[in-house]
């Protein structure tokens, strides 16, 4: 395989012109000082002992007499061997030997702990039946600044112990939602161990818990005094399942679209395998939990409570 552009840069850094001259048995004709090599030109084979100069620091060469040309190590090998770039690269790569290349580092998650100023009185939230006081309590609202959360209704995320992780943003721009999804999450967020609202309800798990997809449904449940967590998507990790293990029973209420229905079947099996009692609520087609009335949310919970108390 021909060396890539990146490989050429790497080879120029790793192999010195001095080494090429040494390999070709030419170094003895050069005078060597700290920063340069000076000797007869190995390209036009002239006899001037000062024709060819190599800068050791910059790893570049120049012939001041017949060639009146210069370049880097690739150019030198091309001219010495009368070969193209690719072959010159291979010649130098053989000289360089294998390099131990470290895997590129994964971006580490860094929690964003500063509280943001958000406007909880927003049409998007009102449309979901979320009162400004509720949004404020959940540290959610319209973000008016620039950057990552620009044009989003943001909501603060915490780890299971309640330490802030940063903010998730739901974009209000339909084109952006179409292009790159509705949600913006912090880089490298440990989503597998994050359950939205868990730290606020973890002492109430024994009374049962609603599990929903997004923070809006959690806020709607909270408004009628019922505990809920959001999995921030339609899949669950083993860590998220383990966090829910102390709950006596789970009311699984995902969105009423095809994806939500499929996810409901998968998550039910997953939670049952964690020895949890699970009640699923099938919502009408294309209905999300946040579109239910307060009365419908309570009715779903009452039905769940009745079922989970059966022996
Ligand atoms: Zn020359």
Distance 210 CA to ligand 1 centre (A): 80
Decide if pLDDT at 280 tops 50: yes
Residue 265: the pLDDT is 85
Helices and strands of the chain, counted as H and E runs: 12, 13
Distance 7 CA to ligand 1 centre (A): 27
Distance 36 CA to ligand 1 centre (A): 17
Residue-wise pLDDT for 75-102, tens only, equals 999 998 888 888 888 889 888 877 644 4
Distance 92 CA to ligand 1 centre (A): 21
**What CA–CA distance (Å, rounded) separates 198 from 282?**
23
Decide if pLDDT at 70 tops 50: yes
Ion ligand 1: residues, CB within 5 A, are 41, 43-44, 63, 66-67
Distance 81 CA to ligand 1 centre (A): 14
Residue 121: the pLDDT is 97
Residue 123: the pLDDT is 97
Beta strands 164-171; 183-184: pairing state:
antiparallel
Distance 80 CA to ligand 1 centre (A): 11
Most confident of 47-51, 163-167, 278-282, 300-304: 163-167
Beta strands 183-184; 209-212: pairing state:
unpaired
Q: What is the pLDDT of the chain when averaged over all its residues? A: 88
* Mean pLDDT value across residues 27-32: 90
Residue 103: the pLDDT is 47
Distance 121 CA to ligand 1 centre (A): 76
301 near 226, Cβ under 8 Å?
yes
Most confident of 120-134, 165-179, 241-255, 272-286: 120-134
* Mean pLDDT value across residues 192-202: 95
Decide if pLDDT at 134 tops 60: yes
What band does 111 get if pLDDT is binned at 50, 70 and 90? very high
| Residue spans of alpha helices (H) in the chain | 5-14, 17-23, 73-81, 85-96, 123-127, 132-137, 174-180, 198-201, 215-223, 238-244, 258-273, 294-308
Distance 43 CA to ligand 1 centre (A): 5
Distance 78 CA to ligand 1 centre (A): 14
**What CA–CA distance (Å, rounded) separates 23 from 20?**
5
**What CA–CA distance (Å, rounded) separates 133 from 7?**
58
Decide if pLDDT at 120 tops 90: yes
Distance 63 CA to ligand 1 centre (A): 5
Residue-wise pLDDT for 212-237, tens only, equals 999 999 999 999 999 999 998 878 88
User: Percent of the chain at pLDDT above 90?
Assistant: 50
Decide if pLDDT at 305 tops 70: yes
Residue 233: the pLDDT is 82
Sign of the four-CA dihedral 254, 255, 258, 260:
negative
């Amino acid at each position: 395989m021909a060396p890539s552009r990146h490989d050429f840069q790497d080879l120029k850094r790793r192999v010195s012109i001095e080494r090429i001259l040494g390999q070709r048995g030419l170094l003895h004709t050069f005078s060597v000082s700290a920063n340069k090599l000076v000797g007869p030109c190995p390209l036009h084979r002239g006899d001037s002992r000062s024709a060819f100069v190599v800068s050791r620091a910059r790893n570049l060469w120049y012939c001041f007499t017949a060639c009146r040309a210069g370049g880097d190590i690739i150019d030198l090998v091309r001219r010495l061997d009368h070969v193209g770039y690719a072959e010159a690269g291979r010649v130098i790569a053989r000289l360089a030997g294998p390099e131990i290349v470290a895997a590129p580092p994964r971006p580490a998650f860094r929690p964003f702990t500063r509280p943001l100023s958000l406007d909880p009185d927003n049409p998007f939230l009102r449309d979901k039946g979320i009162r400004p006081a509720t949004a404020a309590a959940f540290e959610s609202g319209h973000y008016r600044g620039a950057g990552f959360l620009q044009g989003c209704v943001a909501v603060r995320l915490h780890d299971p112990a309640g330490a802030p992780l940063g903010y998730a943003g739901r974009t209000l721009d339909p084109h952006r939602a179409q292009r790159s999804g509705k949600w913006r999450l912090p880089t490298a967020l440990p989503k597998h161990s994050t359950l939205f609202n868990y730290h606020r309800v973890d002492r109430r798990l024994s009374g049962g818990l609603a599990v929903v997809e997004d923070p809006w449904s959690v806020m709607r449940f909270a408004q009628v005094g019922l505990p809920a967590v959001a999995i921030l998507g339609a899949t669950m990790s083993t860590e998220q399942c383990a966090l829910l293990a102390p709950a006596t029973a789970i009311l699984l209420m995902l969105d009423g679209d095809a994806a939500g229905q499929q996810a409901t079947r998968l998550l039910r099996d997953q939670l049952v395998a964690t020895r949890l009692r699970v009640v699923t609520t099938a919502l009408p087609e294309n209905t999300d939990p946040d579109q239910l009335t307060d009365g419908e949310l309570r009715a779903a919970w009452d039905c769940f409570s009745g079922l989970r108390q059966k022996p």
